[in-house]
Amino acid sequence: MGMKKSSKIIFTILGTIVAIYTLFPFYLVVLNTFKNANGIVANPVGFGGVSFSQLMANISAVVNNSNFNFWYAFGTSVIITVLSLVLLALFGGMAAWVICRNKTKWSTAIYMVFIASMIIPFQVVMLPLISTFRDVSQFIGISMLQSIPGIVFAYCGFGGAMTVFILTGFIKGIPYELEEAAAIDGCSPEGTFFRIIFPLLTPVITTVTILNGMWIWNDYLLPSLMLGQNGKVKTLPVAVQAFVGSYVKQWDLILTAALLAIVPMIVIFLVAQKQIMNGMVEGAIK
């Protein structure tokens, strides 16, 4: 018994040391946004030079900065992420249901293409993607680059394979008798999907939404290529990059920008911690 107690203490100490290590950078970010540039250089670890009015000054300097434009970038990121997630859940669910319930050569082939495409790295399609989108924009007269609809379209394309893969696995487990019974009662196929199948997908759509949401919200490369580093429309990661590029080594401002960029994600994590951690694991295991 005594042995167990001592190992428990050792584990707790070890765990605490690792936790301090993982949280220390966050501590530094929060701490130093309370200081001005001189205070950071003088002592980045201690509490010297900390003041609340300095935090306010830093935040207002960053929020109103024309290179960062926090509220605009934040709003853009929210719109892009939410629209992409809703459309991916809807279109993904529809496609997965058709693939799952039609055992034809076509649906199997489409499924195989989706699965195989999951190994394609973004780098191999990014350059022709930009030129294709540019050509399409010129051809049809709707801007696909530097526009929110264009980015949402691209996320539906890139997120589709993983979404269909996870949803198909789940739909396979739903008894087919449910749909047969609905058909006998005179329910149309689309009615069967929206009234019976789609509501049943809630848990797995939560998983898919968390996986896609983490990726889309934090994604830098796709929006930076499509929107341009200094275009009118900016997502939060692109805005951070543009801001840092224009204020080299001004750590008071850079760290405040970093804090503003990570706060939304931390807040969501604190609210839905269990769902996020479970969702990330389930998405990986499947």
Partner 1 sequence: MAENSNKTKLLSYVLLAAGIAGLAFALVLDFSGSSAGFRGPLLVAGAIVFLVGLYFFPTVEHHRSIINFIFLFPLLFTFAVTVLIPLALGIVYSFTDWNGIRLTGFVGFSNYATMFKDPSFVWSVLLTFLFVIFNMVLINVIGFMLALLCTSKMRGINFFRASYFLPNLIGGIVLGYIWQFVFNNVLIQITSKWGMMNSILANTKTAFAAIVVVYIWQYAGYIMLIYVTGLTTVPKDVLEASQIDGANALTTLFKIKIPMIASTVTICTFLTLTSAFKQFDVNMALTNGTGSVADFMGSYLTNGTQMLALNIYNTAITKNSYALGQAKAVLFFIILASVSIIQVRISNSKEVEL
Kindly identify the residues of this chain, within the stretch 3-22, that bind partner 1 according to CB under 8 A: 7-8, 11-12, 14-15, 18-19, 21-22
CB 148 within 8 A of CB 233: yes
The region of 53-61, 65-73, 114-122, 195-203 touching partner 1 under the rule CB under 8 A is 114-122
The residues near 262 (Cβ < 8 Å, ≥ 6 apart) are: 26, 29
- The closest of 114, 212, 224, 116 to 155, measured between CA atoms, is 212
CB 240 within 8 A of CB 258: yes
In the complex with partner 1, the residue whose CB is nearer, 61 or 87, is 87
Q: Which two tokens stand for residue 56?
A: 């306010």
CB 92 within 8 A of CB 114: no
- The answer to whether 199 contacts partner 1 (rule: CB under 8 A) is no
Q: Least distance (Å) from partner 1 to the CB of residue 201? A: 14
Q: Least distance (Å) from partner 1 to the CB of residue 68? A: 13
Q: Pick from 37, 59, 61, 87: which binds partner 1 (CB under 8 A)? A: 87
> What is the distance of C-alpha 113 from the center of its chain?
24
Residues between 212 and 271 that touch partner 1 (CB under 8 A): 214, 217-221, 225, 237, 240-241, 244, 251, 254-255, 258, 261-262, 265-266, 269
- The answer to whether 112 contacts partner 1 (rule: CB under 8 A) is no
Q: Which position has the token pair 């996320």?
A: 155
In the complex with partner 1, the residue whose CB is nearer, 25 or 169, is 25
- Counting residues that bind partner 1 (by CB under 8 A) gives 93
CA atoms within a 13 Å half-sphere pointing along the CA-CB vector of 39: 18
- The answer to whether 64 contacts partner 1 (rule: CB under 8 A) is no
For the chain, report the end-to-end CA distance as a whole number of angstroms. Answer: 40
Residues between 128 and 187 that touch partner 1 (CB under 8 A): 128-132, 134, 136, 139-142, 153-154, 156-158, 160-161, 164
Q: Least distance (Å) from partner 1 to the CB of residue 246? A: 13
- The answer to whether 117 contacts partner 1 (rule: CB under 8 A) is yes
CA atoms within a 13 Å half-sphere pointing along the CA-CB vector of 247: 22
CB 90 within 8 A of CB 193: no
Residues between 90 and 109 that touch partner 1 (CB under 8 A): 91-92, 94-95, 97-99, 102
